[in-house]
Amino acid sequence: MTDLTQQLSRSTRFLLVPGLVLSAVIAGLALWLGNIPAVAGAGFSALTLAILFGILVGNTLYPRLTGRCDPGVLWAKHYLLRAGIILYGFRLTFAQIADVGVSGIVIDVLTLSSTFMLACWLGQKVFGLDKQTSWLIGAGSSICGAAAVLATEPVVKAESSKVSVAVATVVIYGTIAIFLYPAIYPLFGHLFTQETYGIYMGSTMHEVAQVVAAGHAVGPNAENAAVIAKMLRVMMLAPFLLILATRVKQLSPAAEGEKSKIIIPWFAVFFILVAAFNSFHLLPAALVNALVTLDTVLLAMAMAALGLTTHISALKRAGAKPLLMALMLFGWLIVGGGVINLLIQHLLA
């Protein structure tokens, strides 16, 4: 029995190899080009290039390779991203986290709550969508993209088709945000420092991966602040799901007594623990630098995998109403989120 288990385990690991190799090749090309001064100077970071190349391959060659590569690509998108975020803690210390301060937490709470409430109103009152679709798109837009959608699904007991639509919308607009936020930064440089612009990105962009890529394109200080603000926002997923589960039970008396599964974003907890450990400077600088390099590679592979699974056909599947609703939420995050950031930073400065 043990031999059979080991054989199955080896077979499963082998299935991951093609997708991981493809993700690694795309990541390697992106890392190489990202180190060329002319490319970097044009605003194309290695992480941005990785997702761009991933999208290009994902919508051309990848459909022929899906059967072989999907297990490894999906594994990279899920596990390597989380490993990369955990190791990202070695780039930070609690002194830097403290720099985000109370203002960063207040900004995250206001942005999350206002976006989700707007989603509920737009979805049901303006576009006539059902509660589940509105909640799923709202969760993805207000917290952490596809991860929040998938975490919300067991709470609201949504159909798989609704989950797919919600994931498609947040991936589409989140991917646009990767390029939009660095592009508009020079226009608002007089209102934001790199750090405060990073908080703005972290509090308003959809996916953790997208925040890392956009922050990296703006600059190291923006990237650090963006990741911290984003991780604080991700940490709010658990209390959000608890509140939503209570609301779902109130609206569905028949479901009373059932326990909703609450998904805790453990990778965010470990990210904070690693940053706390790094604050004591117990590891040699050379080892920390090696871990940071490994982290960059893992994140680039995760970006490549995210790009490979971002299909243009998702636009057609999503339909007009969910796309328009998500677009309005995207606009609110950019404009309303910017106003919230500037107001809170001014009041709590």
Which is nearest to 131 in space by CA: 141, 123, 139?
123
- DSSP state, residue 90: G
Question: What CA–CA distance (Å, rounded) separates 216 from 270?
Answer: 21
**What pLDDT is attached to residue 78?**
84
Question: What CA–CA distance (Å, rounded) separates 195 from 164?
Answer: 34
Contacts within 8 Å (CB) and 24+ apart, 75-79: 75/16, 75/19, 75/20, 76/19, 76/20, 76/23, 76/301, 76/302, 76/304, 76/305, 77/302, 77/305, 77/306, 77/309
**What pLDDT is attached to residue 255?**
46
The phi, psi pair for 219, rounded to 5°, reads 160, 165
Question: What does the block give as tokens for 297?
Answer: 């590679």
Contact residues for 105 (Cβ-Cβ < 8 A; gap 6+): 232
Question: What CA–CA distance (Å, rounded) separates 249 from 245?
Answer: 6
Encode the chain (349 residues) as per-residue pLDDT tens digits: 455 445 435 656 678 999 999 999 999 999 999 888 877 656 567 887 888 899 899 999 999 988 899 999 999 988 898 898 889 889 888 777 777 778 888 999 999 999 999 999 999 999 999 899 999 999 999 988 877 887 788 788 877 678 878 888 887 898 899 889 999 999 987 899 999 999 999 999 988 778 888 998 898 899 989 988 988 888 788 788 888 888 887 776 554 445 555 556 677 788 888 988 999 999 999 999 999 999 999 999 998 998 898 777 766 666 789 999 999 999 999 999 999 999 998 888 6
Question: What CA–CA distance (Å, rounded) separates 78 from 104?
Answer: 27
Question: What CA–CA distance (Å, rounded) separates 113 from 236?
Answer: 11
HSE-CB for 96 with a 13 A CA cutoff: 25
Cα–Cα distances (Å) from 201 to 174, 223, 228, in that order, read 11, 9, 10
**What pLDDT is attached to residue 38?**
77
The phi, psi pair for 319, rounded to 5°, reads 80, 170
How far, in whole angstroms, is CA 234 from its chain's centroid? 9
Question: What CA–CA distance (Å, rounded) separates 283 from 300?
Answer: 24
Instruction: Report how far apart the first and last C-alpha atoms of the chain are (Å, whole number).
Output: 64
**What pLDDT is attached to residue 310?**
77
- Global pTM reads 0.74
Please classify residue 40 by burial: count the beta carbons closer than 10 Å to its beta carbon, then call 0-12 exposed, 13-18 middle and 19+ buried. middle
